[in-house]
């Protein structure tokens, strides 16, 4: 299974698979403020994408699946269908995933967040 990195707000714990912002303090460096701003912008994009997906495939709003694996497969299928519709409606050039190539793997959550913060 591919490695999935998620974003969360300050209410969530920082884990290896979940990025969260640094605590909002007056003495935060420019690097930390930039990271927090980029992470927030990323979360907005993801939330907007989820809203578009639910608007396109309205059945997702009333999906009642007891198995997390089955729900994941249904959502993935909707994403593929959504992307096919987008691709055939308008041409969108693919963008390379530069972050995955530039930031080395870290086993600890804080190291990963620090590396991404420095990259940005």
What pLDDT, in 10s, does the model give residues 88-104? 775 545 444 555 555 66
The structure's pTM equals: 0.55
Locate 31 and state its tokens. 């690097």
pLDDT of residue 37: 93
Q: Are residues 35 and 22 in contact, defined by beta-carbon separation less than 8 angstroms?
A: yes
24-38, 65-79, 100-114, range with the lowest pLDDT: 100-114
φ, ψ of residue 15 in degrees (nearest 5):
-130, 175
Q: Are residues 30 and 120 in contact, defined by beta-carbon separation less than 8 angstroms?
A: no
């Amino acid at each position: 299974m591919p490695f999935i990195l998620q974003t969360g707000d300050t209410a969530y714990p920082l884990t290896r698979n979940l990025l969260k912002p640094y605590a909002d303090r007056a003495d935060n460096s420019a690097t930390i403020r930039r990271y927090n701003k980029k992470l927030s912008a990323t979360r907005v994009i993801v939330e907007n994408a989820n809203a578009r997906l639910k608007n396109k495939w309205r059945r997702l709003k009333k999906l009642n699946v007891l198995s997390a694996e089955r729900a994941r497969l249904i959502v993935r299928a909707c994403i593929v269908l959504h992307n096919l519709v987008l691709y055939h409606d308008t041409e969108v050039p693919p963008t390379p995933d530069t972050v995955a190539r530039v930031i080395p793997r870290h086993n600890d959550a804080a190291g990963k967040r620090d590396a991404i913060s420095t990259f940005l």
